[in-house]
Structure 1
Amino acid sequence: MGASRPDAGTSAGVLRANVVGETDMVQLLDAHGKRHEEATFGPYIDALDAQTVRGFYRDMATVRRFDTEATALQRQGELALWVPVVGQEAAQIGSGSAMRSADYAFPTYREHGVALTRGLDLADLLKLFRGISNGGWDPREKNFHLYTLVLAAQTLHAVGYAMGIQRDLIAEPATEPAAVMAYFGDGASSEGDVHESMVFAASYNAPVVFFCQNNNWAISVPFEVQSKIPLVNRAGGYGIPGIRVDGNDVLAVYAVTKWALDYARDGHGPVLIEASTYRVGAHTTADDPTKYRPNAEEEAWKAKDPLERMERYLRAEGLADDAFFEQVKNDDDELAAHVRSATLALGGADIRQKFATVYAEAHPLVAEELAWFENYQASFADAETPQGGAA
């Protein structure tokens, strides 16, 4: 477990002294899919029925198939950019599944799995990456905020929203208690926004769970350059509980997040979760990880694949058979076809309209940049004009 440990003897848990350099990690399923008994978090899994446990695998497989299709669409010129999530499915499905409908999630730009658990149509995520929308969905419908491309800004928004929940409860005590999930990566943890967010959250005892997906690489910068100790150890500096969890173990992630959300909803304040996982592919489709990352490291993490781990567990426990996995594959292929057809039906982006919405009123610099862009576009038409012919 991480630097600050919840006490198994109480429902809320207590804060243990932070120990610098401690690397204990919550794990319920090892890399081979074997279940370990764990007194604090194991009961959260024991309480689940077989359908729910199978659902974890189904959702992980779905988001991976979706990711494959979105990557293909970008490579074919249908998306301007894509942010892959392969390798991080357990961290996202486990944490997202632990939320209640009244809870609110603030994602970065890679939380495709969390979006799935919140009930979004995954095709809506691609509107942003196709450039036809600044969002793509109404965040109020599913309590899932718009993607945030400004690194770490969403952590500030999350704490503000959580403080709003506190005030709502004061004004209307009958309001259903809720908590907020603030997602960010190890790269964003180096931003001042994250520090400021945790200071405010701790000071005001805000009901927010900070969920860091430590995928080991902030684009081309390895984690050890950003921090000399596990990120979870920072929790002690704010006086809040911190838990380090195996981010490729969907059962452990679900249980730890479930505990943390209960803790926050019950009025005990924020929690920091560090989910240790790995970005198997590129940071985005504009990135080439072969330039900075050793192949041996990638292969070592592929052996810890969250889907394979969960499949071994389901088969060993007699919770799923070949028919189940074949049905998941067929359903996911249907989803991929839906995503592709929905994306192609969106049409293209009106780039000129983007220039018109930078400022509320006309701006000379924007007008100058638009003129440059239109000349640039016209140059392609000139290049296509046959020599001696008319445009």
Structure 2
Amino acid sequence: MSEYTAEEGVYGQEHAKPAIGLIATRENDAELTLTILQAIRQGYDVLVTHGEAAEPEAVDLARMLDARIVQPDHANDDRESLVSTLTIAARTGGYPGLIYQAADSSAIDYARSEAELAEGTGFAVEAVPAGVVRQRPSIVVGIPAYNEAGSIAEVVRAASEYGDRVLVVDDGSRDDTALVASEAGANVIEHEYNRGYGGALKTLFQAAERQDAEHLVILDADNQHDPADIPRLVAAQREANAEIVIGSRFVDGAMSDVPRYRRLGLFVVNTLTNMSIGAFHPKKRISDTQSGFRAYNRRAIAGLAEDDAIGSKMNASTDILYHAHQRGYAIEEVGIRVRYDVENASSQDPFSHGYNLVNNIAATVQNTHPLISLGIPGLLCLLLGVSGTYWLVSNFLATGSPSFALTAFSALFWFGGFFACAAAVILHSLKIANRR
């Protein structure tokens, strides 16, 4: 039998099973006692806390049954605060997770509760009542977050109004992003280290696939996006039966005061991206290839969850479009509202971000269309090499002495053209072999 505060933990030991967290009240002593006995028979440790000014009788009963009593900092009957107290105690106590139960809940389905915890949707989950069938979520709102403790709570609360579940991936933050998001009502997945924007997206796709979500809507954690636009993206997706719907800053209905330097940079990146996927026709052109506000249907979620080609950095937005193009996904765009008067609106310098995007586009084009990206320039170089050689021979016959400049010019284009053509043929052959 032990008693401790949330900060003290449980002797620093490691436990194989998650803890069962219970909230004692003045009315639930009988239910609490029964739940403790059932949990102990199943091999679980039980953590009990309360929000009363004086300990209710249920706490004494729990203590007699060898449950671990978590003393709250102060009297507070707010359920979210009490769950947070239990979560901190379980985490510091060395448990792999927490299954918490509402004071008025029925018996716990331990197997299904552990299964939900194992899905990776956070450190703590609410217990699944025995005999209750939980429906899969229709709309999961996914939020990748890195050091966003100042804004994440507001984003989570607003998104909760428009989704069945809010899922935050804390990408190795150094602040309290995970704790704040959890207290705001989100399911939180924590990365031990920063994996980058693309890494956080990959985790969101995998979690949404495990939950069998019909729609995954991803938006930024810095409060730039308006969660009230979520229903519009989902409605457009259902109406058009599109795998991906992009919240665009540049189509009808958009309300976005994009700074001029960003608008210019986005124009270049959008143009290059559309050219690289062959979207030359205006109807196929994507107006905002770098928007982080997107809705994905079940087919897109499953495909992206398994695609290892999605990069870990900011260029993941472009990688996703290449994935969609290769698999023939339908893409729609909906005008959204975007704010630029928020703190930390962009975590990366726009020039380095643009440079990385262009490099990524160039590398992708080289791998997907080698005969065009390398073969055509290689042939042009060979033609210039032939022209240089003809000029060199003509000059030698006329003057009787070779020209060093013409020799270097011809050699440069001969060798450059040869290697470019050879690389194009090799990459094209590898591409065909991979398809087979």
TM-score (norm 1): 0.23
TM-score under structure 2 normalisation? 0.21
Which structure exhibits the higher relative contact order, with contacts defined as CA atoms closer than 8 Å and separated by 6 or more residues? Answer: 1
Tell me which protein shows more strand as a share of its residues: 2
